[in-house]
Amino acid sequence: MSLIKKQLFEQLAIIAHSLGSPQRVEMLDYLAQAECGVDELSKLVGLTVANTSRHLLILKNNGLVVVRKAGKQRLYKIAGDDVVLLIASLRITAQTHLAEVDRLLTKISSNTLHENTISSEQLADKFNDQDLLILDVRPNKEFLQGHIRGAVNIQPQEIPEKIKHLPANKTVVAYCRGPYCLYSYQMVNSLRDNGIQALRLEQGFPEWKAAGLPCELQEIL
């Protein structure tokens, strides 16, 4: 039995090895939003196509991403919501035990990391509140593949223009890819500068979906 136990720990170490590269962790973050081909993903993470393919092969072989063929293209996506929760747990553990993570997050959020936020659980409790407007501040491709039910999409480059047309009598909840994504911070700051009450969802869409909360998903054939 002790040998089997050691072998099981070896299997756990395979998953840990997959997360041992910051580039692979970043890829999982993007693939949790939407399917991507190698060319598109390489641009997102700033790697060559060859290096991106090498990292994707490791993630695929270790069961964290899956791939399908669409014509001549191979499209990758995260293997399941359990992988989203794994990355979320990694993030929480790092924030708890690594002071550098909190320091970097404070720089990203301009000292508003824990201000003007709402958790997924709190938003779910207020989900049918007619005074709330939920904004998805991600690229349209990601929004189309899945979003919080009833959310309105404003793409990052549209923020300065579209913000002028938002109702001033509603509380806006903005979300994007997750806690390390700048888009929702920018949206909340812009809204508040224009006198609109706004909150940032602490988590991103992948965590909302993984929690089984209301969402709309595109069926991929």
Specify the CATH number for the domain of residue 160.
3.40.250.10
Are 138 and 165 a contacting pair, CB within 8 Å? no
- Average of pLDDT values for 103-122? 76
Do 116 and 212 belong to one domain? yes
SS3 annotation, 16-33: HHHCCCHHHHHHHHHHCC
- Does the residue 104 lie in any domain? no
- How many domains is the chain partitioned into structurally? 2
Of 79, 96, 127, the one marking the end of a domain is: 79
CATH number, position 7: 1.10.10.10
Average pLDDT over residues 163-173: 88
Q: Please check the confidence at residue 221 and state whether its pLDDT lies above 50.
A: no
Answer yes or no: is 90 within a domain: no
Full residue range of the structural domain in which residue 34 is found: 2-79
CA distance 71 to 75: 10
What digits encode the pLDDT tens for the residues 44-92?
999 999 999 999 999 999 999 999 999 989 999 999 999 999 999 999 9
Neighbours of 160 (CB within 10 A): 9
55 located within any domain:
yes
In a domain, 92, yes or no: no
Per the prediction, the chain carries an average pLDDT of 91
Cα end-to-end span (Å), the chain: 44
Q: Do 123 and 59 share a domain, yes or no?
A: no
Asked if residue 211 is part of any domain, the answer here is yes
Task: Enumerate residues 6+ apart whose C-beta is below 8 A from 82.
Answer: 210
